[in-house]
Amino acid sequence: MSELRELYQTTILDHNKKPRNFHVPAAANREADGYNPLCGDKVRVMVAVGDDDVVTDVGFQGSGCAISTASASMMTEAIKGKPVSSAMALFDSFHDLVTGPPLDEPDTDGVGKLAVFSGVREFPMRVKCATLAWHTLKSALEQSGETARTE
Ligand code: ZN
């Protein structure tokens, strides 16, 4: 666990400093806004979905704390090039990862690098920061037209 915690620190710092896919994809055809009032994190997620239902490009804009920015950055890396169905499945896996009982061993199967977020489950306030981009992604993919809110 301490190894994962160390990796968490360095990964969050890196992605907060140099967010990946922090741009507006030219071909974006779905988007949603997200807001976490507890922390003040704001994010807009824009997705380009191709004819074959694959996420061909994804980007985000906004401002927030290091965890929300790093989570959005890592999310874009994780879902780019994946079918929409896989992106939605990853939402579920990530959600389970960060909201599971703190004392349980986290199930990190299939989440790849996102496993570094497993320690967040010990901090309920931070869970909202970590999941904001994912809730926003879900709104965008479902084209609900609603602003994703963590409250
Ligand atoms: Zn936050």
Distance (angstroms) between ligand 1 centre and the Cα of 65 equals: 4
Q: Which residues contact 129 (CB under 8 A, 6 or more apart)?
A: 36, 39, 41, 64, 65, 67, 68, 71
> By residue range, what is the domain housing residue 27?
2-149
- Note the pLDDT of residue 26: 95
What CATH number does residue 71 fall under? 3.90.1010.10
Distance 94 CA to ligand 1 centre (A): 17
> Cα of 85 to ligand 1 centre, how many Å?
27
- How many whole angstroms from 125 Cα to the centroid of ligand 1? 8
As for how many domains the chain has, the answer is 1
Beta-carbon neighbours within 5 Å of ion ligand 1: 39, 41, 65, 68, 129
- DSSP secondary structure, the chain, as one string: -HHHHHHHHHHHHHHHHS-TT-S--TT--EEEEEEETTTTEEEEEEEEE-TTSBEEEEEEEEE--HHHHHHHHHHHHHHTTSBHHHHHHHHHHHHHHHHS-TTSPP--TT-GGGGGGGGGGG-HHHHHHHHHHHHHHHHHHHT--PPEE--
64 C-alpha to ligand 1 centroid (Å): 6
The reply to whether the predicted model has a pTM over 0.85 is: yes
pLDDT means per 10 residues, the chain with 151 residues, are 80 96 97 97 98 96 97 98 97 94 85 92 93 97 88 74
- Provide φ and ψ at 5, rounded to 5°: -65, -40
Q: How many angstroms is it from 16 CA to the middle of ligand 1?
A: 12
CB atoms within 10 A of CB 5: 11
CA of 13 to the centre of ligand 1 (A): 14
Predicted pLDDT at 35: 97
Cα of 31 from ligand 1 centre, angstroms: 20
Q: Which of 143, 92, 8, 48 has the alpha carbon at shortest distance from 60? A: 48
| Cα 53 to ligand 1 centroid, rounded to whole Å | 31
Q: What local confidence, expressed as pLDDT, does residue 133 receive? A: 98
Tokens of 56: 């061909």
Angle CA 43–44–45, to nearest 5: 115
